[in-house]
């Protein structure tokens, strides 16, 4: 992820991202309710998702991670009681091994160059038995064929932020390689097999 790109991306952004209304009804039911746990938003942006998670679990400790200083500045303003850290694509996350109970990461990993490092680091900081709730844009055979035929230039716009493209198979493979067991998954946006995104709830074993 280019830092300068995402500083520009978050400049002046105060509203919720456009996919929030379609994904949150699907995702909020997976937020843990236990008290005194640590919840991390990997790719927290301006902190608005943490705001929503706090409405469900007010007693957890919250940590936001993002590459953009601009986004983190906004997040710190609206969530002064939470911890926020700037991270780097390919870098080590500033958290101890096995120190986190739950990680939320929505529409983030498709923006990352070093996805192997990202999955490895997420697994490292998560406690055994801890859970990851992950979403990415979904790319299956039928959807990909339609994109190639009717929307190639728009979808693969070279000025756009998406640099990785995941199918269910490749995503499951990366998770299992890094010690995760798939508990639940589903889709949101439009209709399957043309869904906007896939969500996965995975447990570190």
Residue 80 belongs to a domain with what CATH number?
3.40.50.150
- The first and second tokens of residue 135, run together, are 């979403």
Q: Which of 167, 159, 164, 124 is nearest to 142 (CA)?
A: 167
Count: domains in the chain: 1
| Residue 189, domain member (yes or no) | yes
| Residue 16, domain member (yes or no) | no
| Residue 45, domain member (yes or no) | yes
pLDDT in tens, 8-19: 989 877 777 889
Full residue range of the structural domain in which residue 91 is found: 3-11+21-27+34-204
Query: Residues 6 or more apart from 177 whose CB is under 8 A from it?
Result: 119
pLDDT in tens, 95-149: 999 999 999 999 999 999 999 999 999 999 999 999 999 999 999 999 999 999 9
- Provide the pLDDT for residue 4: 86
Is residue 39 within 8 A of residue 102, CB to CB? The reply is: yes
| Residue 193, domain member (yes or no) | yes
| Residue 100, domain member (yes or no) | yes
The mean per-residue pLDDT over the stretch 35-39 comes to 96
* Band (1; pLDDT cuts 50, 70, 90): very low
pTM, two decimals, is 0.94
- Provide the pLDDT for residue 15: 75
- Provide the pLDDT for residue 9: 86
* Band (167; pLDDT cuts 50, 70, 90): very high
| Residue 175, domain member (yes or no) | yes
Q: Can the peptide bond before residue 193 be classed as cis, meaning omega within 30 degrees of 0?
A: yes
| Residue 177, domain member (yes or no) | yes
- Provide the pLDDT for residue 2: 53
**Percent of the chain scored above 90 by pLDDT?**
86
Is residue 140 within 8 A of residue 75, CB to CB? The reply is: no
Share the mean pLDDT of the chain: 94
| Residue 187, domain member (yes or no) | yes
The mean per-residue pLDDT over the stretch 154-170 comes to 93
Strand, coil or helix: 35: coil
């Amino acid at each position: 992820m280019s830092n300068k790109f995402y500083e520009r991306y978050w400049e002046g952004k105060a509203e919720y991202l456009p996919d929030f209304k379609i994904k949150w009804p699907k995702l909020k039911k997976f937020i843990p309710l236990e008290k005194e746990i640590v919840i991390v938003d990997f790719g927290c942006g301006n902190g608005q998702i943490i705001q929503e998670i706090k409405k469900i679990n007010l007693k957890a400790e919250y940590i936001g991670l993002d590459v953009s200083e601009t986004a983190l500045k906004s997040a710190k303003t609206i969530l002064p009681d939470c911890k926020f850290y700037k991270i780097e694509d390919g870098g080590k996350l500033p958290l101890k091994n096995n120190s986190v109970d739950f990680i939320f990461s929505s529409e983030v990993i498709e923006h990352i160059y070093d996805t192997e490092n990202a999955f490895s680091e997420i697994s490292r900081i998560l406690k055994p038995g801890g859970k990851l709730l992950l979403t990415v844009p979904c790319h299956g055979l039928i959807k990909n064929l339609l994109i190639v035929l009717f929307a190639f230039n728009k979808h693969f716009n070279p000025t756009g932020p998406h640099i990785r493209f995941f199918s269910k198979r490749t995503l499951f493979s990366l998770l299992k390689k890094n010690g995760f067991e798939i508990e639940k998954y589903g889709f949101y946006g439009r209709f399957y097999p043309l869904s906007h995104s896939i969500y996965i709830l995975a447990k570190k074993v």
